[in-house]
A and B are shown apart, each in its own frame.
Chain A
Amino acid sequence: MNWAEFFHMGGYALYVWPVYIVTAVILIANVVIPFRAERRILRDIARNLRRESRDVK
């Protein structure tokens, strides 16, 4: 495959590649943010559980 031609996109590289870059950014953000949020809240709940059991003692 001709890589130079591929990146050149028939002269429209300035339009086509930003499309795919923006897509990657938006999709990755929509994966990272919720995955992190779930992990964070699970950690939160776990921490509170531990704190509770310590207070009880």
Chain B
Amino acid sequence: MWVWFHKLGSPRYFWGFSQKLMPWLIMACCLAFLIGLPWALVFSPADYQQGETVRIMYIHVPAAMMSMMIYVVMASAGAVNLIWRIKLAELVAAASAPIGASFTLLALITGSLWGKPMWGTWWAWDARLTSELILLFLYLGFIALYNAIEDRRSAGRAAAILALVGVVNIPIIHYSVEWWFTLHQGPTTQGMRVGGSIDPSMRYPLFTMMIAFNLFYVMTLIKRTRTLVLQQERNSGWVREMVGSR
């Protein structure tokens, strides 16, 4: 297992491996959305309380969960880069940042569109919303820092440190609804369990959309990382050979 991990750290091996994996990822991702979207929009019931606005949940919840998960991946990859100096880890972190920022923005926008009809306001400075907004700033800060520093190795390390410092925000976002009084309702993740607060007729389409968003992340992460690998390795023998033979 570790041997394979080590192999994966080699840009050349990663290129070959990702080349084979991509078509499957694209297919799986499309399939998940093809099933999830109609299920979310048509083949699931309206909520007894929130009516048709519950369909926003099928985007908002997966987006929010991805925004947090991607940050953890980004910080972990940064840590791997800091500790083991694996260059590919730095690229994975850099590639994750814009995707994570996109999902955070999506969570905030869809949350706002959900909040206005249900709560009666587009925004509230409650603990969860505020910490999610801070997450967006952290992502943007990471991207800015990584691009601002000339030396690539220093840039990767500085950005990794920023990501690690900000990781404390993730449990804050998650537990905010339990620790403080918030306008935002309690955790949805518990509701997703069997016997939880989400009815099965809604739990399954939500789960499908979560899978779809996860596959989307992995797919676009690999795509972006491949581009970064090409940029980094453009003068290496294997890249020249590969491009020349196209």
Asked whether B224 lies within 8 Å of A12 as measured between CB atoms, the reply is no
In this complex, how many residues of chain B approach chain A with their Cβ under 8 Å: the count is 36
Instruction: Give 1 or 0 for each of A31-43: 1 = CB within 8 Å of chain B CB.
Output: 1001101100110
Distance in Å from the Cβ of B37 to the closest Cβ of chain A?
Answer: 8
Asked whether B106 lies within 8 Å of A37 as measured between CB atoms, the reply is no
Name which residue of chain B comes closest to A31, CB basis.
B220
- Cα-based distance from A45 to B109 in the complex (angstroms): 39
Asked whether A16 lies within 8 Å of B53 as measured between CB atoms, the reply is yes
- Cα-based distance from A10 to B60 in the complex (angstroms): 19
Name which residue of chain A comes closest to B114, CB basis.
A15
Which candidate, B163-171, B195-203, B237-245, is the interface stretch facing chain A? Answer: B237-245
Asked whether A15 lies within 8 Å of B53 as measured between CB atoms, the reply is yes
Name which residue of chain B comes closest to A35, CB basis.
B223
Please name all residues of chain A whose beta carbon is closer than 8 Å to the beta carbon of B231 when the two chains form the complex.
41
Q: In the complex, which residues 7-24 of chain A have their Cβ closer than 8 Å to any Cβ of chain B?
A: 9-12, 15-16, 18-20, 22-23
Asked whether A10 lies within 8 Å of B52 as measured between CB atoms, the reply is yes
B87, CB-defined interface residue at 8 Å: no
Q: In the complex, which residues 66-102 of chain B have their Cβ closer than 8 Å to any Cβ of chain A?
A: 98-99, 102
B152, CB-defined interface residue at 8 Å: no
- Cα-based distance from A38 to B219 in the complex (angstroms): 13
Asked whether B110 lies within 8 Å of A23 as measured between CB atoms, the reply is yes
Please name all residues of chain B whose beta carbon is closer than 8 Å to the beta carbon of A10 when the two chains form the complex.
46, 51-53
B105, CB-defined interface residue at 8 Å: yes
- Cα-based distance from A41 to B231 in the complex (angstroms): 7
Instruction: Give 1 or 0 for each of B113-145: 1 = CB within 8 Å of chain A CB.
Output: 110110000000000000000000000000000
Distance in Å from the Cβ of B31 to the closest Cβ of chain A?
Answer: 15
Can you list 21 A-B contacts (CB < 8 A)?
Answer: A1-B42, A9-B52, A10-B53, A15-B113, A15-B116, A15-B117, A16-B56, A19-B109, A22-B110, A23-B106, A23-B110, A26-B106, A29-B102, A30-B216, A34-B224, A38-B230, A42-B230, A42-B243, A45-B230, A46-B246, A49-B240
Interface residues of B (CB under 8 A from A): 41-42, 46, 51-53, 55-56, 59-60, 63, 98-99, 102, 105-106, 109-110, 113-114, 116-117, 216, 220, 223-224, 226-227, 230-231, 234, 239-240, 243-244, 246
Nearest 6 interchain pairs by C-beta: A10-B52, A34-B223, A9-B52, A10-B51, A38-B227, A34-B224
Interface residues of A (CB under 8 A from B): 1, 6, 9-12, 15-16, 18-20, 22-23, 26-27, 29-31, 34-35, 37-38, 41-42, 45-46, 48-49
